[in-house]
């Protein structure tokens, strides 16, 4: 039975272990247009991996392929350790419902990260302080209500003539849980999908869309995140192309101190 925690995000992504599979449940608080918010699904999968008794090390990468809509209610997670060596583990996860077809496939890499030479090539972007910016108020889906989004650039606006010409697909904003929660790998995973679809920014209109695949790379281990001890990230997102119903997205998540915590890429479909 699921138990209550002190934060809605932890309640929503909670999983329980069964005889052969883990089990989670969708949350009305992290719902998108036709199913769960993709970041919620990815974070729930990551939680099952982190809490698995055979897990060793911290997440380095997680790829989630969203194969079919996830219906409201319970879902099963078939979690398998595919390969392990002295420093890394490779995992495979299938999400299904009611003993039926698989709705989501995921692969993950965990590793024991050891001290080594470090060099951050990317430069911390210029930004305005979180406190000087207004929180985004419009919430077209319930998951948006769970985040405090404060745009610096690329504020989403509707246009009278969509795509004539196309607008910029770039956004820079602060992302925090609406009720502050210390940033960990679970929140980084969810926040790496907490951007509005780039097609909205490029066309200036709401369109049918959905994430097909998302990969997030983690550049900080648990000790690094504990030292940062922050509740918000500076987030950047952009796209390179939209073509024949599919478009890409790339993103960065930064700590306020200037540390690059995670990078992400995804592919989405759209109807326009």
- Whether pLDDT at 260 is above 90: yes
- Whether pLDDT at 263 is above 90: yes
- Are the C-beta atoms of residues 234 and 254 closer than 8 Å to each other? yes
Domain around 223: 8-112+131-270
State pLDDT tens for residues 19-41. Answer: 678 999 999 999 998 899 999 99
- Residue 129: its pLDDT value, please? 96
- Round to whole Å and give the CA distance between 145 and 138: 8
Question: Considering its fold, how many domains does the chain have in total?
Answer: 1
Structural domain includes residue 119: no
- Residue 161: its pLDDT value, please? 78
**Which is it for the CA torsion 57, 234, 27, 245, positive or negative?**
negative
Q: What percent of the chain has pLDDT over 90?
A: 86
- Residue 237: its pLDDT value, please? 98
Whether the ω angle into residue 31 lies within 30 degrees of 0, i.e. cis, is no
Structural domain includes residue 126: no
Rounded mean pLDDT, 91-114: 95
- What pTM was estimated for this model as a whole? 0.95
- Residue 3: its pLDDT value, please? 45
- Residue 8: its pLDDT value, please? 96
Structural domain includes residue 3: no
Rounded mean pLDDT, 97-115: 94
Structural domain includes residue 172: yes
- Residue 19: its pLDDT value, please? 66
- DSSP bridge pairs for 105: 65, 94
Task: Of 221, 212, 211, give the one whose Cα is nearest residue 50.
Answer: 221
Where b means 16+ CB within 10 Å and e means fewer, 218-253 reads bbbbeeebeebebebbbbbbbbeebeeeebbbebbb
| pLDDT, the chain, mean | 94
- Round to whole Å and give the CA distance between 211 and 198: 11
State pLDDT tens for residues 209-231. Answer: 999 999 999 999 999 999 999 99
Give the CATH number for residue 45.
2.40.160.210
3-state secondary structure of 15: coil
- Are the C-beta atoms of residues 8 and 2 closer than 8 Å to each other? no
- Whether pLDDT at 1 is above 60: no
State pLDDT tens for residues 87-101. Answer: 999 999 999 998 888
- Residue 163: its pLDDT value, please? 65
Quote the Cα angle for 38-5-28, to 5°. 35
- Round to whole Å and give the CA distance between 232 and 83: 34
State pLDDT tens for residues 116-167. Answer: 999 999 999 999 999 999 999 988 899 999 999 999 999 998 887 776 788 8
Structural domain includes residue 117: no
State pLDDT tens for residues 43-57. Answer: 999 999 999 999 999
């Amino acid at each position: 039975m699921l138990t209550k925690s002190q934060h809605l995000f932890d309640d929503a992504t909670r999983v329980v272990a069964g005889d052969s599979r883990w089990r989670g449940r969708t949350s009305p608080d992290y719902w998108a247009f036709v199913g769960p918010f993709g970041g919620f699904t990815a974070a729930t999968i990551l939680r099952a991996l982190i809490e698995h008794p055979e897990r060793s090390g911290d997440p380095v990468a997680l790829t989630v392929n969203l194969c079919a809509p996830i219906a409201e209610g319970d879902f099963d997670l078939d979690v398998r350790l595919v390969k392990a060596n002295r420093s890394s583990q490779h995992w495979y996860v299938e999400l299904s419902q009611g003993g039926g077809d698989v709705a989501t496939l995921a692969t993950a890499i965990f590793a024991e990260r050891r001290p080594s030479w470090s060099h951050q090539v990317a430069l911390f972007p210029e930004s305005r302080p979180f406190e000087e910016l207004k929180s985004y108020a419009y919430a077209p889906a319930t998951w948006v209500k769970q985040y405090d989004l404060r745009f610096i650039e690329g504020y989403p606006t509707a246009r009278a003539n969509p795509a004539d010409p196309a607008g910029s697909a770039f956004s820079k904003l602060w992302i925090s849980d609406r009720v502050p929660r210390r940033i960990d790998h679970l929140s980084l995973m969810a926040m790496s999908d907490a951007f509005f679809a780039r097609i909205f920014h490029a066309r200036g209109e709401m369109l049918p869309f959905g994430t097909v695949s998302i990969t997030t790379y983690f550049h900080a281990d648990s000790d690094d995140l504990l030292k940062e001890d922050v509740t918000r990230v500076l987030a950047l997102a952009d796209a390179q192309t939209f073509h024949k119903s599919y478009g890409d997205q790339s993103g960065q998540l930064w700590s306020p101190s200037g540390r690059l915590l995670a990078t992400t890429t995804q592919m989405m479909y759209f109807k326009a």
